[in-house]
Chain A
Amino acid sequence: MEPISVIVGQIVALPVPDIDTDRIIPARYLKVTDKEGLADGLFFDWRYRADGSPNPEFVLNRPDAQDATVLVAGPNFGCGSSREHAPWALQGYGFRAVISPSFADIFRNNSINVGLLPVQVDDATYLQLVSLFDEDPATQVRIDLAAQTLTLPDGRAVAFPIDAFSRHCLLNGVDQLGFLLSGADAIAAFEAQHPIELDTTR
């Protein structure tokens, strides 16, 4: 995983609430056994018309949105299915962070695990970003993970929450599995006294 410290990037706004992971990546793109090609399916049914041609009305197809690396989306982003293919597809497309007033729980965990930064902001900041994009699609923001701040073009810095451990993992480009594996002795000790019996192999 690539370490993340500071992300400076152009935003693109998709101000729709409750964008579910079926929207982000439809189920028919989940037949892969690796992570390749998922970006092609990103927002597929919004991005393309029924005849397969790009839908010019969808924001990601605008010529001035091609360099965006920060997605600004409505509240409860990533609700629905637990598919990690959703953050994989966003990342594969070129997004490095998503800004939203709220994230669905599983999506937030998945994003952190793949190194796509979820930046949760208050409603006013979210609405300000949406109108900044409307006025100027070249709007850039600066996200400083170590400082946990999002800096808007007017210089205002807003804090965003992230738990200490996730922040540590993202800053250092390490995944969480290493930490779990280092606790093998504690896991074995726990298992020795845990009363639940089950043998799924029988």
Chain B
Amino acid sequence: MTQARTLFEKIWQQHLVRPATAATPAVLYIDLHLIHEVTSPQAFAELRARGLRVRRPDRTLATMDHSTPTTPRNQLGIIPVLDAQAAAQLDRLREHCREFGIQLFELGSEHQGIVHVIGPEQGLTQPGMTIVCGDSHTSTHGAFGALAFGIGTSEVGHVLATQCLLQQRPRTMEVRVDGRLPHGVTAKDIILAIIARYGVGGGTGHVFEYTGSAIRALSMEERMTICNMSIEGGARAGLVAPDDTTFDYVAGRRFAPQGAAWDAALTRWRALPTDPGATYDRVITLDATQLAPMITYGTNPGMGMAIDARVPLPDALPEPAQRLALEKALRYMGLQPGQTLLGQPLDVAFLGSCTNSRLSDLRAAARVLDGRSVAAGVRMLVVPGSQAVKRQAEAEGLDRIFRAAGAEWREAGCSACLGMNDDKVPAGKYAISSSNRNFEGRQGPGARTFLASPITVAASAVAGVVTDPRPYV
């Protein structure tokens, strides 16, 4: 009888070109390599310098998302890139893709979008795959039961040249979430609660597998939101076992297997979930029934709390380093220990990013905004995750709801999630954001970010202050 194995162990073993030895790490095969303009140019330069080719252009796909503008198109239907440095970066990606035969979803073209939104949307992301990208939120794709993680630029070069990576085997952690989510509590709140409880370094060295009835009940888009922020808990990757929800989502998408290949794939995919009796290196649990909408008050995603709770007191923390870190964060955020965030005035509301810019996120926010207006003095940006999401949202009339409420309806991209383009939060101003990082300066120098779910962002935009979304939904 074969040994009971976890989902992670199965994918790992199925991709071992060479197992680890005493002298060398494992060589792991990569099925899908996604690239974007920011973390790839130096890798291609290295390839050129060594006279190497891209081993598998047919397993590689590029998009433009990080440094691209999201300003509306001009009269010619073109999205103008005004930043010369960003334009040069986009030009490099174009050249490299042409030279090495890689398909590129160009800025402004119909499939362009945030790399972690387009992979699933196009059916590139499939169960059981290994997927990498020079971007830490590659963990998003783990929602399909794919082992997906972020890599640095040197490793981008390794995968381009060999389709392989040298890897130390991570440990596994089961993150079990059971129970029914209360009204007004979303997938974003689950992951923010996990990180608030176990810390931003809690998952270091591990791959999370999310299990339990609360996870099984989620849609694919909700699972992606959770897996997306695994990296914010320090984990290398996050996994959800594939099931009928997964297969229904993948079926019929552009790059998904078809016909007999689909049947064969389905047989393989159904064998992926963790076997009964398999064990993880660690197990943590969360009771979904006890959750409330979450919000962050500090400068990392672990500094989060229920929206109606009070900012913790540094003096109540056990470790001096923790106390100092909290004091520093509250100084940066301009907040007082023990205060509530409800009623905190806001300057910007950002609905976007690879965490929460898919159709279901826009729909949920639009339901809150329908027939209401964004408060005076608040700038709300709505940035769809991809051109396909944008088209679908427009077909459903969501853009009209956002515009009528006074929000800006933008082109697809990373936008104010990381402030590489002009979509920034001004210094000292407060933003409520559906993105994943509230680091100092993340959304612009001096920007102060509260992370929350799309409905909390929408309700707060309407109120003009941080607001509990539950009465709005």
Chain B CB within 8 A of A164 CB: yes
Known: A102-B201, A186-B18. A35 touches B103 (CB 8 A): no
Known: A102-B204, A183-B18. A82 touches B445 (CB 8 A): no
What is A's interface to B at a CB cutoff of 8 Å? 15-18, 20, 22-23, 26-28, 30-35, 45, 50, 74-76, 79-85, 87, 102, 104-106, 109-110, 113-114, 163-165, 168, 175-177, 179-181, 183-184, 186-187, 190-191, 194-202
What are 5 pairs between A and B in contact, CB < 8 Å?
A32-B89, A104-B201, A110-B154, A110-B155, A200-B60
| Interface residue SS majority, chain A | loop
CB pair A76 B162 closer than 8 Å? no
Chain A CB within 8 A of B205 CB: yes
CB pair B201 A34 closer than 8 Å? no
CB pair A82 B442 closer than 8 Å? no
In Å, the complex CA distance between A186 and B324 comes to: 51
A74 contacts which chain B residues (CB < 8 A)? 321, 325
Looking at B37-45, B245-253, B360-368, B450-458, the stretch in contact with chain A turns out to be B37-45
CB pair B442 A22 closer than 8 Å? yes
Q: Which of A16, A183, A202 is B164 in contact with, Cβ under 8 Å? A: A183
CB pair A106 B150 closer than 8 Å? yes
In Å, the complex CA distance between A76 and B439 comes to: 14
Looking at B128-136, B179-187, B343-351, B395-403, the stretch in contact with chain A turns out to be B128-136
Chain A CB within 8 A of B430 CB: no
Q: Say how far B150's CB is from chain A's closest CB, in angstroms.
A: 4
CB pair B152 A195 closer than 8 Å? no
In Å, the complex CA distance between A38 and B106 comes to: 27
Determine the interface band of chain B, counting residues with CB < 8 A from chain A. Answer: 35 or more
CB pair B439 A113 closer than 8 Å? no
Task: Kindly report which residue of chain B lies nearest to residue A28, judged by CB atoms.
Answer: B420
In Å, the complex CA distance between A202 and B214 comes to: 37
Interface residues of B in 120-167 (CB under 8 A from A): 124, 126, 128-129, 134-136, 149-155, 157-158, 161-166
Which one of A18, A102, A181, A184 has the greatest number of beta carbons of chain B within 10 Å? A18
Which one of A186, A190, A202 has the greatest number of beta carbons of chain B within 10 Å? A190
In Å, the complex CA distance between A202 and B124 comes to: 12
A163 contacts which chain B residues (CB < 8 A)? 25, 168
Q: Say how far B442's CB is from chain A's closest CB, in angstroms.
A: 5
CB pair A27 B418 closer than 8 Å? yes
Task: Kindly report which residue of chain A lies nearest to residue B138, judged by CB atoms.
Answer: A82
CB pair A105 B31 closer than 8 Å? no
CB pair B255 A198 closer than 8 Å? yes
Q: Say how far A77's CB is from chain B's closest CB, in angstroms.
A: 10
Which one of B46, B155, B161, B446 has the greatest number of beta carbons of chain A within 10 Å? B155
CB pair A200 B32 closer than 8 Å? yes
Chain A CB within 8 A of B353 CB: no
Q: Which of B58, B134, B204, B234 is A82 in contact with, Cβ under 8 Å? A: B134
CB pair A200 B162 closer than 8 Å? no
In Å, the complex CA distance between A105 and B210 comes to: 20
In Å, the complex CA distance between A81 and B102 comes to: 25
